[in-house]
Structure 1
Amino acid sequence: LCEALVFFYPLAGRLREIPPDGRLIVECTAVGVPFVEADADVTLLEFGEPLLPPYPCVKELLCDLGDSKDILAKPLAFFQVIRFRCGAFSVGMHLCHTMYDAVGVFKFLEAIGDMARGEPQPTVLPVRERELLTSCSAPSITRAHLGYEPLADGDTSDDVMQTTPSAGMIGQYFFFGPAEISAIRSSVPESLAKRSTVFELLAAVMWRCRTAALGYEPNKLVRFMFAHNARRGWKRDPPIPHGYYGCAIVFPVAETTASELCGNPLSHALELVHKAKSEANDEYVRSTVELLASRKWPALVLDRTFVVSDLTALGEDRIDFGWGKRIAGGVPMAADILTKLLSYFMKCKGADGEDCIVVPMYLPKTAMDTFAAQISIWTKKPGSRTAATSSL
């Protein structure tokens, strides 16, 4: 970890605000990051066989970082390594998203693995050239950015996701293997199914089922938002270097009414996801940069919004600390406001050993049963499926 921080030296510093607008800078103080190590008198078998989320004792596998909302003058990463009696170990991390996105995090972890295996330097040298994604002197916002605009239908006090306290929420993991994905794919016209990715299919069906479970009024606007890696499709000169580990994500949005989403075939939701994804091109990324700069880094508007971050292509299986293969991992549900609104798509081995995608969902207790029932309908074989009705 220390050797990797030499190459990722900004991560050993601290964030500070610059008046008058509160812009953040990193003071490269070389203070470092906390590293906690411990031994546990348990084996991995005691965590369950097969090892599937939700993993037991997640809080114990992560060190306490205090108030996660306070990021000034605090470490930019927290690490905790626990050795188990069987020889396995866990690596728990808290990371400051201001400094890096998910791609950047995994570049850092890969570098730690390189150094742990005795390499003289990271296989991919890190690059911090944030000026590549800074605003022009004359900002030009050329695209619509719904994620930073309030819903056009006004009052959002009916959004139970925002108003329900954590005590009234429940978290559950949903597993999608080849059979479930095939069933969802068979629910849309063949021509659309052939050009749809697994991400698009799962995003569409989960957005639809979640909206139905939450029981929004039919005329209310609902949104689907996803984290898009701006490194993909960046066509400007100079290009974003392969080793860039800062934040390079934008948030495209699809919007429709609850009745349009849940009252139409699944193909309608899928087409909306397709459209939002296709619009996240080079121009959209540049326009987002200009918007953020001109409006002094506004917060995302998350009312009646389902947010997704796809982690399945990050390559966590490539991380090798030299002690053996990664068995399991992922982002735990933390019961904060972001977790309530955000679902991660993560790779996992299912109970039968098949590769699958696991998606955490956090909902009010009254809505979870409805959501699970709706998902169950869409993941059945077509011959055994009944009509997928909504509560609208």
Structure 2
Amino acid sequence: MKLDSFTARRGNPELVAPARATPRETKPLSDLDDHWDLRYLQPSLEFFRVVDGDRRPARPGDGIKAALAEALVYYYPIAGRLRELPTGHMLAVECTGEGVVFVEAEADVALEDFGEPLMPTFHGAEGFLCDVGDTRVIVGRPLFYLQITYLKCGGFVLGTYMCHCIADAFGTIQFLKAIVDIARGEAKPTTLPVWERELFLATSLQPHIKEDQKKLFDELESTTCDDIMVTMPTENMVSEYFILSQIDMAALRRHVPLNLNKTVTSFELLTAVTWRSRTIALGYRPCHIVRLMIVVNARGRWKKLPLGYYGNGLLCSVIETTVNDLCTNPLGHTIELVRKAKDEMKTEENMQLRVDLLPLWREKPYIKVQRIFEACDIKWIGQDTLDIGWAKRIGGGIPTVSPPNLTSYQFLCKNEKGEKSTVISMLLPQPAMDRFKKEMAAWLIE
């Protein structure tokens, strides 16, 4: 059975406030949080099978709802509302304690109907998510939505929307883990939250702008565009997931030169192959400039960032080359380009320089850079730590819902043989997607 062939019967939405009184205050966002690209509600799905346990509630939703209210005592800004500040079109969180949205639903399907083990794609996943309307509207409305959908097998699905200005994917999982920790029986979250958004504020009023960055700024102000990935609405594109087994990864590694084979990471290899395949599929001319944007997690790299920080902590580095240079050189050359992009965020000084540029980016019009491929590694996001005790997580991830995301995510799942596999998301116009599949298949030929 496909995910789009069922109907979820939702109950009435209700607001869940923190279980106890919380501070009433205004919390400004960081320069990284308060970016046009992040002003939307980010969805996620987590599938659970109920197991025996001492603390198993008669109705899972009761346990999840109570745990949500308790988690909000610690994560109380999430129970507030965003508002625009009088100057600069910047946002801040009013910690009002109004609460988040909670919905219970039922669906006459079982986990087994979706295939076992559960794997992407999650087409039709809207049935497992709250009806939030326009996901780009975030001011003056709840910042988090949770729908628990009961399945006929006794399992359930947690579908969530988190305002991306409040938390990135790692922060969202941290909040979900707080909920499941408490639902499991813990007195408080095992990781306590840290706000401290001032850590990602610009420290220089006149940051140094490199030549390649200046070119990006100039392009953002340009009124001409011939890249279909910018001119075509994302709603008219197709989104697909590609699952690569360990055998597939071994086939890709056979294309890597010996001097890189032992050190290349799976992210570097997959990013190099998908960047080349996507570029060819889109039919860019050999003389065109193409760019790679690598999303790097500052957690664990920036010493000043404390454990428990749940705000946006992903910084982007960009490198550029020509289509001819990218697609006619050996794969090892592309891997080196990927590493060059990663190395841009290797030092704390470079990370701060990137943060210092954020206010300048915010002033630019909301358009996408031409011929750019955005790659993000979320394989170690921590979803496997969502242990409720009386329910076992069996799968989940980022569903394909509107508006689609141009970023190509890499994450882990198990394939139909139960083997650990890597999943890549891709959004392209249909003709380009057909060509992309052929290019990827060519790399996998032994």
Q: Provide, for residues 251-300 of structure 1, a one-character-per-residue CA deviation record: whole Å limited to 9, x for no partner.
A: 11121111111111111211110001011131121012211235656557
Aligned to 2:180: 113
Superposition CA RMSD, Å = 2.2
Quick check: 1:5–1:11 contact (8 Å CA) kept in 2?
yes
Quick check: 2:105–2:149 contact (8 Å CA) kept in 1?
yes
**C-alpha separation between the residues in 1 aligned to 2:106 and 2:79?**
26
| CA distance 1:230–1:156, change in 2 (3 Å) | farther
**C-alpha separation between the residues in 1 aligned to 2:363 and 2:195?**
20
1:46-85 equivalences in 2 (<5 Å)? 46-55=113-122, 57-85=124-152
Aligned to 1:274: 339
| CA distance 1:324–1:146, change in 2 (3 Å) | farther
Aligned to 2:98: 31
| CA distance 1:145–1:91, change in 2 (3 Å) | farther
Among 303, 308, 333, the residue aligned to 1:243: 308
1:1-392 equivalences in 2 (<5 Å)? 1-55=68-122, 57-136=124-203, 138-141=205-208, 145=213, 149-151=217-219, 157-166=225-234, 168-235=236-303, 239-280=304-345, 281-293=347-359, 296=362, 298=364, 301-336=368-403, 339=405, 341-381=406-446
Q: Provide, for residues 351-384 of structure 1, a one-character-per-residue CA deviation record: whole Å limited to 9, x for no partner.
A: 2211001112121111112110110111222xxx
Q: Provide, for residues 189-230 of structure 1, a one-character-per-residue CA deviation record: whole Å limited to 9, x for no partner.
A: 111122211011001100000000000111111111122111
- SS of the residue corresponding to residue 375 of structure 2 reads strand
- SS of the residue corresponding to residue 242 of structure 2 reads strand
Quick check: 1:221–1:304 contact (8 Å CA) kept in 2?
yes
1:103 CA drift (Å): 1.4
Quick check: 1:218–1:259 contact (8 Å CA) kept in 2?
yes
User: Structure 1: which 5+ runs fail to align?
Assistant: 382-392
- SS of the residue corresponding to residue 327 of structure 1 reads strand
User: Structure 2: which 5+ runs fail to align?
Assistant: 1-67
**C-alpha separation between the residues in 2 aligned to 1:146 and 1:74?**
36
Paired residue type of 1:133: F
Paired residue type of 2:148: V
**C-alpha separation between the residues in 2 aligned to 1:197 and 1:147?**
30
- SS of the residue corresponding to residue 35 of structure 1 reads strand
Paired residue type of 2:425: P
- SS of the residue corresponding to residue 149 of structure 1 reads helix
Q: Provide, for residues 157-194 of structure 1, a one-character-per-residue CA deviation record: whole Å limited to 9, x for no partner.
A: 32111223456422221111111111112212111122
| CA distance 1:218–1:128, change in 2 (3 Å) | same
Quick check: 2:125–2:401 contact (8 Å CA) kept in 1?
no
**C-alpha separation between the residues in 2 aligned to 1:330 and 1:64?**
19
| CA distance 1:297–1:113, change in 2 (3 Å) | farther
| CA distance 1:211–1:64, change in 2 (3 Å) | same
Quick check: 1:147–1:251 contact (8 Å CA) kept in 2?
no
**C-alpha separation between the residues in 2 aligned to 1:138 and 1:46?**
56
Quick check: 1:148–1:300 contact (8 Å CA) kept in 2?
no
What's the TM-score once normalised by structure 1's chain length? Answer: 0.90
Aligned to 1:384: none
| CA distance 1:266–1:7, change in 2 (3 Å) | same
| CA distance 1:129–1:88, change in 2 (3 Å) | same
What's the TM-score once normalised by structure 2's chain length? Answer: 0.79
- SS of the residue corresponding to residue 328 of structure 1 reads strand
Q: May I ask how many residue pairs the two structures share in their alignment?
A: 376
1:51 CA drift (Å): 2.3
Quick check: 1:111–1:123 contact (8 Å CA) kept in 2?
yes
Q: Provide, for residues 55-84 of structure 1, a one-character-per-residue CA deviation record: whole Å limited to 9, x for no partner.
A: 354110111111111110011111110011
1:22 CA drift (Å): 1.0
| CA distance 1:146–1:330, change in 2 (3 Å) | farther
| CA distance 1:88–1:148, change in 2 (3 Å) | farther
Quick check: 1:139–1:294 contact (8 Å CA) kept in 2?
no
